[in-house]
Structure 1
């Protein structure tokens, strides 16, 4: 009898070790060998534990110490009240069950459009991964407490518009399950470049539509979602054309590896991973998924997004949250700061009248286009540091310009002044020459200023106005100069 009890106890211990292997990508083989419909179902378990009765019972105890949705909303409102000079709170929509999707924006000018890059952090995409929502509140409070004391906090607050959505899936959190209230995995609900399953936007989940509308409303330069169940920084592409598992990089693969490495190497131990070299991985090389948010952001929103696995345990005991925050703190800060510490930034102007042009920026050899903003024609092009890049600015109706920059010593500010394709001198002076004057003195006055003198004065005024714009631009970026070797180029 004792022998049977010992055998049964050993089997139970052995069985308890199986879920941890599933959390670290043990589904790769089954995904590679099955058809897509089976792979789509299996991939819902990507690096995460499937819900089961024992897990649900354990979760009842684990929720102790975590914020409820009401607690989270209250904490966010208290934050913006305490830090009203650098923050605001707004909602991007509601969940299936009507819970507002609250966002905190942190900036020295929250709610104002500026020539600064925007970054978004999203937590709790999967309902049973609550660590991210807690870490994001830690992050917000640290920035508030230190933005006048710590240089990194000052850099972020004064040079970036940081948007924080602690919980994308409040219904799933309340239910203690991965999907939302409709049992849909929100990280499989976005339009996909390879699998056309989500073409009808109205059929998508309200949480998904809220993120898509948000990205259309705010021109995010980069973003990251916080997940749990592994310890790695994941980057596009997440899927492959043939549904097989292998490395499949996007056009900005070097830049994504660089961004992922910033997070990994700033982390306490992520870069020491034995499973993922350097603590980073290409999504498709781990195993393919379809309808994911990071690929959609890069393709449709012009936003460089990472999927960050920040905790081996999906739902650790709340007492472990302070140490998890300590391990991820510098990673979260350095990733946001990288928007102004690296890459090429600038504005596009018209040489005719000095007005901003919402043109396009491309880099030779990289099949990807970044669009300048409509209001200020500012652009922010993330690039991995290397010897040189050829940057090209284009705008319909204007002659394109290109120049070579070096990104081995920090960020570069590169402003483009584009020439119109046709001459506009005659039309500008037409009204002066058409003047019907009644006296000889008036006619002489008009003839004097209607000749070459007026052209000289006009050119002088345009040059003066353009110099004023450049002066304002230099004043605006003075804080970025502390972030790296600052170089300003105008072409």
Structure 2
């Protein structure tokens, strides 16, 4: 070893470090994936202060949290016709978690699928927050000009959260302000962890509330430190590092390949075949957001590693955007260009039914939306599927479809099972008419006037009762006297 060329030793050391850097991109124990080659080659570690300074220098050219908020509001000001902005909560340090919705009818509930992008889950992986603003502006600039942009805006409700971890970004570290890795803070299917709501981080709680309010068909979170499309499961039931397939393994592989294949060079990876990986086979993690989306929210989520370098110089951001642009657009468009979509109705009264949709031999179900009863079920193309619609009180319906490269539209009309659900429509109609009349009264009168009016109605009703009572008593007195007169006359 003493006779080895020092340059060769340095080269080997750096490549080994790059290997470890890639392996721990999704969830190593380190605060950051940044490696200083001078210190690494000599076997030394950066101090916390100099580490922060290095990352701080790299942050020049990136948007600060304040810049990001201004950019989001400026986008809405420029593209308000097809967008709205809203906050899903605040970080530990009180920074609003701003979301951009892009759609031709933003904020309206429609029978369309919804997709979400989340960036900056880890504070030291900021590329996603920049790319998501570039994506938003591209859609605004190209709506009604580019077919793909127009397809997305007209047929999808796209929600974009540029930063889930603004505090971690400001602090130049992986975790949030409480030093918690947000991609380990969700409830886990295999092990009892993060089950106490009070113990979860505010950023995690915000995501969980968000998915209760909006039924997302699919989503992706943007990370850095590798170049690969990662899909469930992220963990195994015995903590082993091995391929662990979820029920929709084929569909997830289709989605991951769609992203990788549209990317500039992700599919050419020498480390990951076709540029995709099963999370548990790469390395298992627990409490991750990706698996939680699929299990608890009917949402098919990918974890996308979009840059080998966690914190590349800002002058490389445009190039990284160009490398990922087609992938991001095609992934969003895929939720309307593939899969099976439709609505579910009752045969006797035409009411929309929030029924459950299942696929034979796939142990996973989704539910149609409550109000419009629309469903959007992603499926890998090139196969036949038996689609099953079920709802309590109705007869189950099954239809076989053949999935090619395009989407299939399949509506269900379910017949009531009269043994379990008699007069369902009439009871619904009565309930609706009551609720509508109540709604009209409350809409016509402000709260204070409504209270006064109700009091007056009660008083008048009581007076009417007294008058009626008196009239009834007088009536019976009169009848009694008349009967007495008639008897006496006889």
TM range (shorter): 0.7 to 0.9
Please give the alpha-carbon distance, in whole angstroms, between the structure 2 residues aligned to 1:403 and 1:428. Answer: 25
From 98, 115, 119, give the equivalent of 1:119.
115
Write out aligned runs for 1:252-401 (5 A).
252-401=248-397
Contact map agreement 1:119 1:222 (CA 8 A) in 2: yes
The answer to which of 49-58 and 415-424 deviates more is: 49-58
When residues 47 and 179 of structure 1 are mapped into structure 2, their CA distance, relative to the original with a 3 A threshold, is closer
Match of 2:17 in 1: 19
Match of 1:149 in 2: 145
From 402, 406, 411, give the equivalent of 2:402.
406
Residue 214 of structure 1 and its aligned partner are, at CA, apart by 0.3
1:379 is paired with a residue whose SS is: strand
When residues 282 and 428 of structure 1 are mapped into structure 2, their CA distance, relative to the original with a 3 A threshold, is closer
From 229, 232, 238, give the equivalent of 1:236.
232
Residue 387 of structure 1 and its aligned partner are, at CA, apart by 2.9
When residues 96 and 47 of structure 1 are mapped into structure 2, their CA distance, relative to the original with a 3 A threshold, is closer
From 115, 133, 137, give the equivalent of 1:137.
133
Please give the alpha-carbon distance, in whole angstroms, between the structure 2 residues aligned to 1:428 and 1:327. Answer: 54
1:85 is paired with a residue whose SS is: helix
Match of 1:61 in 2: 57
Please give the alpha-carbon distance, in whole angstroms, between the structure 1 residues aligned to 2:397 and 2:425. Answer: 25
When residues 15 and 115 of structure 1 are mapped into structure 2, their CA distance, relative to the original with a 3 A threshold, is same
Please give the alpha-carbon distance, in whole angstroms, between the structure 2 residues aligned to 1:19 and 1:126. Answer: 20
Match of 2:417 in 1: 421
When residues 409 and 325 of structure 1 are mapped into structure 2, their CA distance, relative to the original with a 3 A threshold, is closer
Please give the alpha-carbon distance, in whole angstroms, between the structure 1 residues aligned to 2:321 and 2:233. Answer: 28
Match of 2:214 in 1: 218
1:73 aligns with 2:69: yes
Please give the alpha-carbon distance, in whole angstroms, between the structure 2 residues aligned to 1:250 and 1:202. Answer: 29
Contact map agreement 1:360 1:395 (CA 8 A) in 2: yes
Please give the alpha-carbon distance, in whole angstroms, between the structure 1 residues aligned to 2:413 and 2:59. Answer: 56
Q: What are the ranges of 5 or more consecutive residues in structure 1 without an aligned counterpart?
A: 29-41, 431-491
When residues 343 and 429 of structure 1 are mapped into structure 2, their CA distance, relative to the original with a 3 A threshold, is closer
Structure number with greater Rg is: 2
Contact map agreement 1:235 1:305 (CA 8 A) in 2: yes
The answer to which of 192-201 and 310-319 deviates more is: 192-201
Q: What whole-Å deviation, never above 9, does each CA across 1:3-51 have from its counterpart, x for those lacking one?
A: 99x95x87666544443111221799xxxxxxxxxxxxx8435994589
Residue 113 of structure 1 and its aligned partner are, at CA, apart by 0.4
Match of 1:44 in 2: 29
Please give the alpha-carbon distance, in whole angstroms, between the structure 2 residues aligned to 1:280 and 1:67. Answer: 30
Contact map agreement 1:19 1:49 (CA 8 A) in 2: no
Match of 1:250 in 2: 246
When residues 92 and 62 of structure 1 are mapped into structure 2, their CA distance, relative to the original with a 3 A threshold, is same
Please give the alpha-carbon distance, in whole angstroms, between the structure 1 residues aligned to 2:120 and 2:397. Answer: 43
2:293 is paired with a residue whose SS is: helix
Match of 2:478 in 1: none
1:96 aligns with 2:81: no
- Aligned residue pairs, count: 413
2:183 is paired with a residue whose SS is: helix
Match of 1:439 in 2: none
Contact map agreement 1:25 1:47 (CA 8 A) in 2: no
Please give the alpha-carbon distance, in whole angstroms, between the structure 1 residues aligned to 2:142 and 2:24. Answer: 41
Contact map agreement 1:105 1:161 (CA 8 A) in 2: yes
Large movers: runs of 4+ above 2 Å: 9-19, 42-58, 423-430
Please give the alpha-carbon distance, in whole angstroms, between the structure 1 residues aligned to 2:332 and 2:405. Answer: 19
From 149, 160, 166, give the equivalent of 2:156.
160
Contact map agreement 1:43 1:289 (CA 8 A) in 2: no
Contact map agreement 1:264 1:271 (CA 8 A) in 2: yes
